[in-house]
Amino acid sequence: MIDDRYHLSARLIHWGMALGFVFMWGCGYAMTTLVEEDSPLEELLFDLHISVGVTLLALLATRIGVRMAHRPPPLPDSIRGIERTAAHLGHAALYALPAVVIAVGWAETNFSGYAVQWFGVEMPTVFPETGEYLQDLSAEVHMWLAYTMLAVAAGHVAAAYKHRWIDGHDVIHRMTFGGR
């Protein structure tokens, strides 16, 4: 019997990244809209947001390596046409968008004259300090790309449940740990 699940390491990274991005969306929203500006809580949330972002970048690189080393299981034959194309495009977006969102967030931090820090460890400065225009632009782009990624992730979850509960082919088990 052929295993129709993703490799264990891919499943672990998938769920770790999913939790990480749920945290990132909530933290990003809270620190930019709910918390008093320049408060200690805002600073803590920014530090956590950046540190988790660096962690997610490392997980993404690892996930790409795992995907190259362990071919993912094929989609069920019953998924055809535009749904198959949408699944492939959605998965590609869930690899590309995090990389771009994190890169733009890194740029925003560096443009502001700050070093990206991973739980207090200074990371390389990749982008030069610039004027306020690029700082503000990168902040806006970071936010909208993050919302775009949230929409793609929500569509991904909705499609998985649609396939399971409406179409009757359980693709969710491919990324879970227990029995069907």
* 47-58 tens-digit pLDDT: 999 999 999 999
Closest by CA position to 116, among listed 49, 62, 61: 49
User: pLDDT digits over 142-160, tens only?
Assistant: 999 999 999 999 999 999 8
The pLDDT of residue 1 is 40
Structure tokens at 73: 């299981």
Domains recognised in the chain with CATH numbers = 8-74+83-171 (1.20.950.20)
- Give the least confident one: 6-10, 119-123, 170-174: 170-174
Q: What is the mean pLDDT of residues 67-71?
A: 95
For residue 131, the model assigns a pLDDT of 84
Q: If pLDDT is split at 50, 70 and 90, which confidence band does 2 have?
A: low
CB-side neighbour CA atoms (13 Å) of 140: 6
The answer on pLDDT for 37 being more than 90 is yes
Q: What is the mean pLDDT of residues 63-81?
A: 91
Closest CA to 90 of 25, 140, 160: 160
Tokens at residue 124, please?
């390389």
Q: What is the pLDDT of residue 170?
A: 77
Q: What is the pLDDT of residues 76-95, one digit of tens each?
A: 888 889 999 999 999 999 99
Which tokens is 67 given? 């995907």
* Per-residue model confidence (pLDDT) at position 167: 83
